[in-house]
């Protein structure tokens, strides 16, 4: 998915990876993406103020490593501003793309749709994690609202028309999906990204499910995302 015009490399798109203090993890995140760089994808790592050497470790494994103010929305918008190509794919640091995701992106490019996401599966092997993933995927198809863990992707012009992610500390993924679905149906991919189940393992499965549902309900009722952020990380 790389071609040349004269001596200028043209990129089909960029993977934008927001990170913060991923010193022990950043190489594991970026090494599997190196094959994509060989095929014309640009990797933009956006550091949100790490106090370890995450940026240094990321530098040889990315096309661009930049710094921004902390906050996932701020970081992803900063990455989009530096990205190459017509496709912007936002990849959380604890999410792994499916091996053949490029075939889905090609279908997306050829469609009239402007944004999309993948199905998701959780990394843990507990039966409950499969149930959680099923609910996440089903809910996102019914509501056309997806989570950042599902690796949201956009055609650049559409993303720019949206003016990117809202500068909120939490629920930036819900917000951009709600604005996007007004203008375009989403591209639903059956391919599954794998996202870490560590939040459920650390805080407890049912406790985490209950927390997430309470936060979503509060957001839909209009509660300040800054308040929800404090509740999420308390």
Using the Cα atoms of residue 116, residue 84, residue 74 and residue 165 in order, give the sign of their dihedral.
negative
Query: Whole-number mean pLDDT of the chain?
Result: 89
DSSP count for the chain of H helices, then E strands: 11, 10
Between 86 and 227, name the one with better pLDDT: 86
Answer yes or no: is pLDDT of 1 > 50: no
CATH fold for domain 2-196? Spore Coat Polysaccharide Biosynthesis Protein SpsA; Chain A (3.90.550)
pLDDT digits (tens, 9 = 90+) for 195-208: 988 777 777 777 77
Distance CA 17, CA 229 (A): 21
Question: What are the strands, taking DSSP E only, across 41-195?
Answer: 41-47, 64-67, 87-90, 95-96, 115-122, 153-155, 186-195
Whole-number pLDDT of residue 228: 66
Buried b (16+ CB within 10 A) or exposed e, 199-227: bbeeeebeebbebbeebeebbeeeeebee
Whole-number pLDDT of residue 9: 44
Would you mind telling me the total number of residues written for the chain in this entry?
Answer: 234
**Model's pTM, two decimal places?**
0.89
Cα distances from 213 to residues 23, 116, 186, 217, in angstroms, run 31, 23, 23, 6
* Rg, C-alpha atoms of the chain: 17
Between 223 and 58, name the one with better pLDDT: 58
Q: Where are the domains of the chain?
A: 2-196
Cα distances from 20 to residues 23, 69, 174, in angstroms, run 8, 11, 21
- The mean pLDDT of 92-101, rounded to a whole number, is 92
Residue 223: which pLDDT band, with cuts at 50, 70 and 90? confident
């Amino acid at each position: 998915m790389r071609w040349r015009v004269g001596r200028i490399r043209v990129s089909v798109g960029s993977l934008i990876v927001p990170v913060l203090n991923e010193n022990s993890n950043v190489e594991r995140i970026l090494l599997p993406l190196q094959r994509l760089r060989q095929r014309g994808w640009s990797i933009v790592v956006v550091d949100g103020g790490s106090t370890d050497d995450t940026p240094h470790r990321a530098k040889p494994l990315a096309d661009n490593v930049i710094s921004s103010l902390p906050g996932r929305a701020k970081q992803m918008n900063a990455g989009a501003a530096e990205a190459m190509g017509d496709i912007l794919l936002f990849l959380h640091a604890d999410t792994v793309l499916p091996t053949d995701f490029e075939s889905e992106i090609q279908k997306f490019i050829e469609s009239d749709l402007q944004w999309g996401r993948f199905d998701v599966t959780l990394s843990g092997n507990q039966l409950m994690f499969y149930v959680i993933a099923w609910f996440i995927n089903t809910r996102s198809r019914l509501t056309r609202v997806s989570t950042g863990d599902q690796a949201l992707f956009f055609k650049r012009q559409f993303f720019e028309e949206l003016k990117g992610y809202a500068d909120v500390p939490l629920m930036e993924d819900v917000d951009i999906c709600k604005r996007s679905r007004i203008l375009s149906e989403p591209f639903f991919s059956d391919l599954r990204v794998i996202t870490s189940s560590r939040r459920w393992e650390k805080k407890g499965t049912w406790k985490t499910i209950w927390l997430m549902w309470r936060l979503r309900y509060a957001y839909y009722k209009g509660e300040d995302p800054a308040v929800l952020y404090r509740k999420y990380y308390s």
